[in-house]
Amino acid sequence: MFGWSGKFLRVNLNKEKAAADGYTASTARSFLGGRGFAAKILWDELKPGIDPLSGDNKLVFAVGPLTGLSLPSSGKMVVAAKSPLTGGYGDGNIGTLAAVQMRKIGYDAIIVEGKSKKPIVLLVQDDTAEFLDGKDLWGLKSFEVEKRLAELYGRMVGILCIGPAGENLVKFANVVSQEGRAGGRPGLGAVMGSKNLKAIVLVGSREPSFAYPKELQQLGADGYREVLTKPNYAFWKQQGTMNTIEWSQANMVLPTYNYREGSFEKADAIGGFAMEKMKVANRGCPQCNMTCGNVVKDSSRRESELDYENVVMLGANIGLGNLRQVAALNRDADELGLDTISLGNVLAFAMEASEKGLIKEKVPWGKFKATKALVEDIAYRRGLGDLLAEGVRSTAGKIGQESSQWAMHVKGLEISGYDCHAAPAMALAFATSSIGAHHKDAWVISWEVKAGRESYSQEKVDKVIELQRLRAGVFEALTVCRFPWIELGFELDWYPKLLHAATGLELNWNNLNAIGDRIFNLIRAFWVREYGKEWYSRMDVPPDRWFEEPLPKGALKGAKLDRKKYDNMLHVYYERRGWDEHGIPTKTTLNKLGLDDVARQLGKRVKLRE
Ligand code: SF4
C-alpha cells in the first residue's frame, strides 16, 4: 500500500505488550484514516454497553494518508473512544507533532487496550514500545509533564498527555499536546486517565512510501504557495478564528450568559481587535503556514493561546469581559486538561443555577477569582466541582427543577460557541453532529446568516448534510485541517490530487463524499447500538431554551426556534439521509454504503427498517 503503512499498533496495558496488527487495503480505501479508522475499530472491537472508564474501552489515536506530510495544515491526529460524557462515539482532533511522529513510527493508528495497574508512560520508538514508570509525572499539570518529557526525549518528539482532570476522571477532560493544543472533548482525557496512562511519547525515524513522491512534493510546495496568495491570509494570521467574535456579536449568535442572549455588552473587550493589541506571538500546528493560535499574556503574565471557542465560552458565556482574565482561565484549563468549551458551559450552568437559588453555593456571573477557584475544584473534584465534573446533562439531572431546559447540550456533549435562537440550520447541525453538540461537523452558521435566518427549508437541510460529508467525513478521515478551505478558500480540488499522489487512488469528490457518508453512518450506528432501546428521535433536538425563551434584547429580540418547524426539518433531514423516523439508518442505506455487516449487527439490537 502506498500512503498508508497498512499497520496499527495494538497496545495492551494489562500485559504491557505491544504488537503490530495489519489491516486490509479495502479498509484503507473504505475509511481512509483518522476518524474513519477510529470509528471502524471502535465499531468492530467494542462490546455494546461497556463502561467507558473501564479497561474494556479502547483509546484510539489515528492519522490519515495526508497527515504529517509537507502540505498545507496536515499536522492533525484523531483521538477516539466510547465517551464517558455521552455514552456514545467520542472523538476530537489535535494539531500536534505526535501526528507527524505517528507517520514516522510507521503506524496509522495506536489502539490502547486494557488498564495499567500503576501510572505509566508509553514510549514508542519505531518498532519498540516501552512501558515506563509514570508515578513521578502523576499529579502534574500537562505543561510540566510535556516539559519533563521533552527534556528527556527532545523537543521534536510527539507528546500526548493528560492533566489532573484526566486523572480525576472529569467527564470532559481532554488530551493535551504542545501546551494547549488539545482534543477529545467528550472526556477522552478521562478515558486515558482511567487506563492510568499519563502520557504517550512517539519518536520515529521512518518515511512513509508514496505512489508518486515527486508529484506529492511538488503539489505540497505549490499548495503552501497557494495558501499565501489568498486575500484573507494576512488578516487570518493576525486574528485566526478570533475575528469571529465581532461577527457573532453583530449577528446575535454569541453565546452569552448560558445562551440566554445572543450578544454581550463587553464583546469588544474580548474580541479579535482587543486580542491583537495584546498578542505576543503566533503559534500553531506542525506543517501549517497559516498558524492561527494567538498567544497573549494572561492576568498572571503567563502565555495563553486564544481562539474563538475558548474566548467566547470562558468570556461572554460566563459574563467575563476581561480578556487577560479569560486568558488565565484558558491557561488553567489547558494545564489541568479540561475542555474549554464544556468548561464554559458547566460554569455558566452553575452561575445560572446559583442565580435561581437551585444550589446553595454562590457562583456569581463574571467574577474572575471565584470562577478560577471553581475551575480548579472541577479538575480536582472538590465540592460543587465534583458535581459539575460530570457535565451539564448529569448535573441538571441531579439538581432537577426543570434545569434540564437550560442545560445546554445535545446527547450529553455541551454545545460549542454559537447561539441558535435564530439559526435553525446551525441548531440542526449541533443536534445531528457525530459526537454531540459540536460545530466541527457542519459549521453552517456563516452560510445561514447570509442565506436567511427564518427559513427551515430543505436547502438548509441539504447544506448541513453537504458539510457533514465534507467536514465530518472527508477532512476528519484525511486528517488534515479544514481551515485552508473554509477560511481562505483553498480549493477542494487540491485534496483528490494530493490523495492520488500519496496513495495512487483516483478518487473524485463523489467518491470522497461517499466515504464521508459511510463514516457518518457508521458513527450513527455506533450511537444507536450503544443506546439500544433508549434511542429515540428526541436525541437529535437542541435544548428547550432555544425553543421556549426568546432572545431578550437587540435586533433579533423575541426570536426563538419554532418546534414544529424544527421537527419537520429534522424529519426531512432523516429522509435525505436515508434514516427512519427515529434517525436510525435503514438497511438499504447501510447496504448501499457497503456497511452490510453493520446492518446485520445493528439489526440484532434495534429494529431496522428496510
Ligand atoms: S490553521 Fe490553525 S488549527 Fe489549522 S493546522 Fe493551522 S494552526 Fe492548526
Eight-state DSSP code of residue 338: B
Tell me the average pLDDT across 215-220: 98
Q: Across the strands, what pairs with 436? A: 434
pLDDT of residue 151: 97
Ligand 1 center to 339 CA (angstroms):
18
Query: Measured in angstroms, how far is the CA atom of residue 284 from the centroid of ligand 1?
Result: 6
pLDDT of residue 597: 97
Which three cell numbers mark 417? 460557541
User: Is residue 217 pLDDT above 80, yes or no?
Assistant: yes
SS3 category, 160: strand
* Ligand 1 atom with least separation from CA of 73: 5
How many residues make up the chain in this entry?
Answer: 610
Average pLDDT over residues 125-131: 95
Q: Is 182 in the pocket of ligand 1 (CB under 6 A)?
A: no
Whole-model pTM? 0.97
**Among 241, 287, 292, residue to substitute to test ligand 1 (most atoms within 8 Å of Cβ):** 292
pLDDT category at 124 given cuts 50, 70, 90 is very high
What tens digit of pLDDT does each residue of 418-453 get? 999 999 999 999 999 999 999 989 999 999 999 999
Mean pLDDT computed over 118-145 = 97
Residue 227 one-letter amino acid = V
Residue 538 is predicted with a pLDDT of 76
DSSP 106: T
Nearest protein Cα to ligand 1, atom 2 = 292
Task: Name the one residue in this structure whose C-alpha cell is 506542525.
Answer: 286
What separation, in Å, do the N-terminal and C-terminal C-alpha atoms of the chain show? Answer: 36
Which secondary structure element, helix H or strand E, spans residue 41, and what is its range? helix 34-45
Q: What is the mean pLDDT of residues 28-53?
A: 98
Mean pLDDT within 524-534: 94
* pLDDT number for residue 135: 97
Side-chain-facing half-sphere of 522: CA atoms under 13 Å: 28
Per-residue pLDDT, 180: 83
Contacts of 369 (CB under 8 A, 6+ apart): none
Nearest atom within ligand 1 for CA of residue 283: 7
Q: Cα-flanking dihedrals φ and ψ of residue 69, to 5°?
A: -85, 170
d(CA 575, CA 577): 5
Element (H, E) at 91: strand 89-95
Task: Find the DSSP H helices in 230-307.
Answer: 233-239, 244-250, 267-270, 272-278
Q: Find the mean pLDDT for residues 167-179.
A: 97
Task: Locate the ligand 1 atom nearest the alpha carbon of residue 95 and give its number.
Answer: 8
Give the model's pLDDT for residue 127.
87
**How far apart are the CA of 95 and the centre of ligand 1, in A?**
7
Task: Give the ligand 1 atom nearest the CA of 487.
Answer: 1
- Residue 21 CA to ligand 1 centre (angstroms): 31
Q: pLDDT value at position 260?
A: 97
pLDDT on residue 440 = 87
21, three cell numbers: 496488527
The pLDDT confidence band at residue 512, using thresholds 50, 70 and 90, is very high
Tens of pLDDT, residues 75-115: 999 999 999 999 999 999 999 999 999 999 999 999 999 99
Mean pLDDT of 209-224: 98
For residue range 245-285, list pLDDT tens digits in order. Answer: 999 999 999 999 999 999 999 999 999 999 999 999 999 99
CB distance 291 to ligand 1 below 6 Å: yes
Query: Which atom of ligand 1 is nearest the CA belonging to 284?
Result: 7
Looking at ligand 1, which atom is closest to the CA of residue 236? 1
Residue 537 has pLDDT above 80, yes or no: no
| Amino acid symbol at 371 | T
Query: Residue ranges of the alpha helices (H) in 258-416?
Result: 267-270, 272-278, 308-314, 323-336, 340-355, 368-380, 384-388, 392-399
Encode pLDDT of 182-199 as tens digits: 999 999 999 999 999 999
Other CB atoms within 10 A of residue 148 CB: 17
What's the gap in Å between 371 CA and the centre of ligand 1? 29
- Supply the pLDDT for residue 225: 98
Residue 534 pLDDT more than 90? Answer: no
Report the 10 Å Cβ neighbour count for 353.
25
Ligand 1 mutation target, pool 73, 237, 307, most atoms within 8 A of CB: 73
- Given this model, what pLDDT does residue 368 score? 98
Model pLDDT, residue 156: 94
% of residues, the chain, pLDDT over 70: 100
Q: What are the respective helix, strand and coil percentages of the chain, to the nearest 5?
A: 45, 15, 40
Pairing of strands 120-125, 128-133: antiparallel
| pLDDT of 45 | 98
Report yes or no: 239 and 36 within 8 Å, Cβ to Cβ.
Answer: no
Residue 139 scores a pLDDT above 80: yes
